[in-house]
Structure 1
Amino acid sequence: MQARSFLILLFLSATFFSAHAGGKVTTGAERIEQYLPLLQGKRVGMVVNHTSIVGMEQTHLLDTLLKLNVQIVKVFAPEHGFRGNADAGETVKDGKDSRTGTPIVSLYGNNKKPTAAQLKDVDVVLFDIQDVGARFYTYISTMYYMMEACAENKKEMIVLDRPNPCDYVDGPILKPGYKSFVGMLPIPVLHGCTIGELAQMINGEGWIANKKNACSLKVISMTGWKHGEPYSLPIKPSPNLPNDQSIRLYASLCPFEATRVSVGRGTTFPFQVLGAPNKKYGSFAFTPRSLPGFDKNPMHKGIACYGEDLRNTTDVNGFTLRYFLRFYRLSGEGAAFFSRPRWFDLLMGTDSVRKAILKGESEETIRNSWQKELQVYREMREKYLLY
């Protein structure tokens, strides 16, 4: 059995090396020879989803490790579920993987942080999920809670690194009092880190709740990528981020979810359009529908929305408020434009942005307000960069 596993490993390693030799990125998950020895003889829990794929044939990491006789005792599933098909905010239930029979424990809903009982039969946790670089993308909140649980329960954690496809440092820093599942850490809207670098930052800056306990952490780095290089995701990371353009615009359009303006949920181009049921917002029209695989119950379902088509926009690099300010002014509603003001503040990590908008301040003035803190963050971030 050991010989068979060794042969499989040699085959996988050769496949990955060939891919990298052709100029492609080799993710941490694909560097199996680096972390397989850390898993052998141990009971393994995995925090994975549909993006946790390896090799040219896009095999799921769970299936790959089971073939290598790794003892996987359970999978911890984040928002959108293990197979990535649950809507944003939809409850993810415990169960079993239909393909392998592996038990699945949901880390979304009421149980966002693993309990001691859920980790009792686990020796090491393997984390491998594709992030998109935005603070309010909840996979990094799941990673934070898992690191905290591992620290508290004396469990090892291995993070398999992947590139950041929106690799910018931009936006306001989250302030105390605005911590939530869409913002767990004092980092900017676009944090400019890979998940491995962010995990090291969480440990190094003492952000674990009980600061006396750091997480026993190992990051398996990738090869073939460095900061500033573009990266196109092979699999959409969540139902409403279907392509590179949606990922590029995601951070700038997500604040609209605290308003009555649609970001295109219920279309095949979410986070690439903006609109509401009033022609004052623009001439471009779309009608949200119930779309399995995207959003089954979108805002303004069945109602024509008018606004802007951003599918061919190429000048957004980082985080911008230009679209939000434009729609805010067109609305003429003042404070009422923020249908969920607290949600907007949680997404921004501060109430200062909303208050500045209400005062009529320009984007330049608002952006200048966070530059000093952003520079402090950039200098701190340098300590944890791997690429």
Structure 2
Amino acid sequence: MACSARKKPVAPATPAPATAPVAAAPVAPAPTVSFPSAPPVVYPVMLGIDVLEETGFRAVAGKKIGLLTHQAGVNRRGESTINVLRRAPQTKLVALFAPEHSLSGQVKASVNFGDEIHTPTGLPVYSLHGKNRKPTPAQLKGLDAVVIDLQDIGVRSYTFTVAMRYTMDACFAAGVEVIVLDRPNPLGGLKVDGPSLDKELMSGVGAFRVPYVHGLTIGELARIAAMMPGVLDVPESVRVKGRLTIVPMRGWRRSMRWPETGLTFVPTSPMVRDFSAVIGYAMTGLGCEYSGFKHGVGKEHPFRGLSFKGKKPEQLAADLTALKINGVGFRKINGTALDGKPASALYVEITNWDAWEPTQLSFELMRLACRYNPPNPFAALNAQETRSFNIHVGSMAWWNALKRDGAKVNLEGFRSEWARLNAVYQQNTRRYWLYQP
């Protein structure tokens, strides 16, 4: 059975800001969460789409629906959610919506694409990463609901949660129900790390004011958007009337990383092809942003193979090892560069998951870049590069300190403060949890 969020109307209010810290207390009642009785176990985890089908498609019965999904939107047996919903009785799937990387998942990061026709079904595919970032009123006209089935990776700057939140904005404004089919956070639901997003840095790579590694599922983020004033970019009078239904997973626990789910990882984007890349994205994605560090060897080891022009892997390993970064180790790897020439890099291994703080390496790479390329490569960024750096990292306080102090920036002080704030965040977000440890 799905868990449904239906709120009573309240008196019209002044439109709320587009966001609010997650520590704010909700004023709307929490959605009722009702889990189906457990069926015979086939796989350790049943995804939201599996639970929807197992419960007879009740959440979509009698409805004309759109679907926001991508190539990783599959059930536990690997069947596309598009095909699963097309066979749902008394349900009519009439439109598809595609996030960044397109429905196929093959379009490169940050590259816009247009609307198209889904050849296998003849359905229109509306791009949410082109001239529009959210469904238009015309695209939503006649729909009873938009179903969202997106595989997120648990990192704030990965844009699928942005696509979900923007779609919720549009649907709530149009009076269209949102149905989220929940999926695992590949990093689990207990690992939280890095700075939270400053309000002024909200953008297409950050629509929730959460830590960089946020520890929530996409369904739990949807609950925050629906329940907390100021997260959605709609007037408060619209938010409280909005309809959100979450179809939760069955069998998933917060302590589970992706390998424990028993599910096959379907690539979510061209560079995130497996769980190894998910770990790397959380760990080095920020550190390779304008620092001079590169990740990968040719097309292999994305986000895990580090290199810096003019530095041998052995020197890089010595410098990084001296920093005593929690939970990681380093080893040299060889491969072939994009130009066909031999290349080598430093592979980042996780040696202690519990001790690992995903973003620590990224911020150490920023400091190290200032040593390798003095006086300070970040101080030389132009306005567009500065904006890009900041909307990914999320903290103007960090930017100001890094630009001013370079290699001498007090990272330890920042990490201590982030850890303190993240402990408060974890306590305050427990009310939105759909799953226990």
Q: TM-score range by the shorter chain?
A: 0.7 to 0.9
Cα distance change, pair 61–22 in 1 and its aligned pair in 2 (3 A):
closer
Aligned letter for 1:60?
Answer: S
Q: Deviations over 1:87-117 (max 9, x none)?
A: 1112222111111111100001221111111
Which among 79, 100, 110 is matched to residue 59 of structure 1? 79
How far apart are residue 337 of structure 1 and its match?
Answer: 4.5
Which among 118, 133, 138 is matched to residue 139 of structure 2? 118
Asked whether 1:24 is paired with 2:44, we answer: yes
SS in 2 for 1:308: strand
Q: How does 1:124-273 map to 2 (within 5 A)?
A: 124-167=145-188, 168-206=191-229, 207-210=231-234, 211-214=236-239, 215-232=242-259, 233-255=264-286, 256-264=288-296, 266-273=298-305
Question: Could you tell me whether the CA contact under 8 Å between 2:284 and 2:361 is conserved in 1?
Answer: no
Aligned letter for 1:335?
Answer: N
How far apart are residue 288 of structure 1 and its match?
Answer: 4.2
Q: Give % identity.
A: 29
SS in 2 for 1:134: coil
SS in 2 for 1:257: coil
Give the stretch that moved more between structures: 371-380 or 178-187: 371-380
Match of 2:416 in 1: 368
Match of 1:4 in 2: none
Cα distance change, pair 258–182 in 1 and its aligned pair in 2 (3 A):
farther
Q: Which runs of no fewer than 5 residues in structure 1 stay unpaired? A: 1-15, 290-300
Counterpart CA distance in 1 for 2:194 and 2:45 is 28
TM-score, normalisation: structure 2? 0.76
Counterpart CA distance in 2 for 1:201 and 1:244 is 26
Q: Deviations over 1:180-211 (max 9, x none)?
A: 11111111101111111110011111211123
Question: Could you tell me whether the CA contact under 8 Å between 1:276 and 1:305 is conserved in 2?
Answer: no
Q: Deviations over 1:103-135 (max 9, x none)?
A: 100001221111111111211010011111011
Counterpart CA distance in 2 for 1:354 and 1:159 is 35
Aligned letter for 1:242?
Answer: R
Question: Could you tell me whether the CA contact under 8 Å between 1:157 and 1:218 is conserved in 2?
Answer: yes
How far apart are residue 331 of structure 1 and its match?
Answer: 1.7
Give the stretch that moved more between structures: 240-249 or 141-150: 240-249
Counterpart CA distance in 2 for 1:368 and 1:35 is 49
Give the stretch that moved more between structures: 177-186 or 363-372: 363-372
Q: Deviations over 1:313-370 (max 9, x none)?
A: 4346342333542442442334315753322211111122233344213442220132
Q: How does 1:300-315 map to 2 (within 5 A)?
A: 307-310=345-348, 312-315=349-352
Match of 1:336 in 2: 377
Aligned letter for 1:197?
Answer: E
Match of 1:77 in 2: 98
Cα distance change, pair 150–303 in 1 and its aligned pair in 2 (3 A):
farther
SS in 2 for 1:53: coil
TM-score, normalisation: structure 1? 0.85
Question: Could you tell me whether the CA contact under 8 Å between 2:46 and 2:250 is conserved in 1?
Answer: yes
How far apart are residue 254 of structure 1 and its match?
Answer: 1.1
Q: Deviations over 1:28-71 (max 9, x none)?
A: 11011447123222210000111111142x11011122123531
Question: Could you tell me whether the CA contact under 8 Å between 2:159 and 2:204 is conserved in 1?
Answer: yes
Counterpart CA distance in 1 for 2:411 and 2:340 is 33
Match of 1:356 in 2: 401
Match of 1:39 in 2: 60
SS in 2 for 1:278: coil
Question: Could you tell me whether the CA contact under 8 Å between 1:54 and 1:61 is conserved in 2?
Answer: yes
Question: Could you tell me whether the CA contact under 8 Å between 1:282 and 1:306 is conserved in 2?
Answer: no
Q: Which runs of no fewer than 5 residues in structure 2 stay unpaired? A: 1-37, 316-331
Question: Could you tell me whether the CA contact under 8 Å between 1:172 and 1:348 is conserved in 2?
Answer: yes
RMSD, aligned CA: 2.4
SS in 2 for 1:202: helix
Counterpart CA distance in 2 for 1:17 and 1:196 is 22
Aligned letter for 1:173?
Answer: S
Counterpart CA distance in 1 for 2:215 and 2:226 is 17
SS in 1 for 2:194: strand
Q: Deviations over 1:288-331 (max 9, x none)?
A: 42xxxxxxxxxxx6787765222x44346342333542442442
How far apart are residue 140 of structure 1 and its match?
Answer: 0.1
Counterpart CA distance in 2 for 1:209 and 1:35 is 33
Give the stretch that moved more between structures: 371-380 or 301-310: 301-310
SS in 2 for 1:91: coil
Cα distance change, pair 99–334 in 1 and its aligned pair in 2 (3 A):
farther
Asked whether 1:322 is paired with 2:361, we answer: yes
Question: Could you tell me whether the CA contact under 8 Å between 1:166 and 1:318 is conserved in 2?
Answer: no
Count of residue pairs the alignment pairs up? 357
Question: Could you tell me whether the CA contact under 8 Å between 1:328 and 1:334 is conserved in 2?
Answer: no
